[in-house]
Amino acid sequence: MTNVELAARAGISAPPCLRRVRALEAAGYISGYHANLNPEMLGFGITVFAQVGLASQAEVDLVAFETLVREWPEVRECHMLAGEADFLLKVVARDWDSYNRFLTSELTSAPNVSHVKSALAIRRSKQVAGAPIDVVEDS
């Protein structure tokens, strides 16, 4: 939405609204802007969640894996976990064969990867960006 629309919704004029938005950006509350693309419309018909276990959890090895993951365009999200798996990757692929090629040629052959458990997403029921700013905690 435009700054004028945002200002109207917030009940303030456009100049102070823009200053507040810029301040939120500078403080890191707003980290960027993007368009929500539909992967299926772009030919990426499947989403797979891959739980990745590493042989070593030394910080240098964790950082090395995270750095490598940034090079793989198929991986749309990467989360370090506490528990059985070390990382959870959200991977998009054109089809199951494409994912399997990525799995065998990139992911399982990556340094320090000891195991990968793949779960094929059947459907997405919810996708919301950002944080729930309307949630108020009881004190």
Containing domain of residue 26, as a range? Answer: 1-33
Residue 69 and residue 91 in one domain: yes
Token digits of residue 1: 């939405």
Instruction: Kindly give, in sequence order, each residue whose CB lies less than 8 Å from that of residue 46, ignoring residues fewer than 6 positions away.
Output: 92, 93, 94, 95, 96, 99, 120, 121
At 137 the pLDDT is 67
Cα–Cα distance for residue pair 9/5, rounded to 1 Å:
6
pLDDT in tens, 67-116: 999 999 999 999 999 999 999 999 999 999 999 999 999 999 999 999 99
The verdict on residue 135 lying in a domain is no
At 44 the pLDDT is 93
Cα–Cα distance for residue pair 139/133, rounded to 1 Å:
16
Name the pTM for this structure. 0.82
Residue 73 and residue 13 in one domain: no
Which of 27-31, 76-80, 101-105, 126-130 comes out lowest in average pLDDT?
126-130
